[in-house]
Amino acid sequence: MTFSVDYIQDQILAYLAAQMPGQKIVDQAIPDIQTVQRDARGQIIPYVAVQFGDLQDDGTRSMIGVRGNDYRMPIYVQSIAPKPRDARRISNKLTNVFLGETFPWAGTVRKRAGGGMWPITNSNNATEAYMSPASFSLVLELANY
């Protein structure tokens, strides 16, 4: 049996990869200078890092118990690029293709507060890349099918 949360997370990653061709989508922890994606020459490549947050009770109660309640899953993304303009544009495109999307066993992707532009610096504080974070959420149902 597949757990609906696993299915939804896999569908989100596949959807983002399909909607942003040529843009690498990586399921990874929040990137830092040690974990940022690089090419064979060691140069930082533009990409999107995705993390799924812990489920939060959404307030809708079910007569069958807590497994029947609705839950909200935070989705954190960081658009990474060597230049701030590129990181911002990747983030804007991601928002455009992701906002309002729906998935089986889930509702509609909504935007959450957060974001900005953050430098990713090396050990001597030189900026090597920029990160433009964003936060979304998705209401989902817990099911084994």
Contact 45, 37 (CB under 8 A): yes
The model carries a pTM of 0.90
Rg of the chain over Cα atoms, rounded to whole angstroms, equals: 17
What is the rounded CA–CA span in Å between residue 133 and residue 135?
Answer: 7
Residue 114 contacts residue 135 (beta carbons within 8 Å)? yes
> What are the structural domains, with CATH classification, of the chain?
4-141 (3.30.2000.10)
What Å distances lie between residue 85 and 11, 51, 115, 131, CA to CA? 28, 23, 14, 10
* pLDDT by 10s per residue, the chain, length 145: 588 999 999 999 999 999 999 999 999 999 999 999 999 999 999 999 999 999 988 777 766 767 767 889 999 999 999 999 999 999 999 999 999 999 998 999 999 998 889 999 988 888 999 999 999 999 998 877 6
Token pair of 47 as six digits? 């990409």
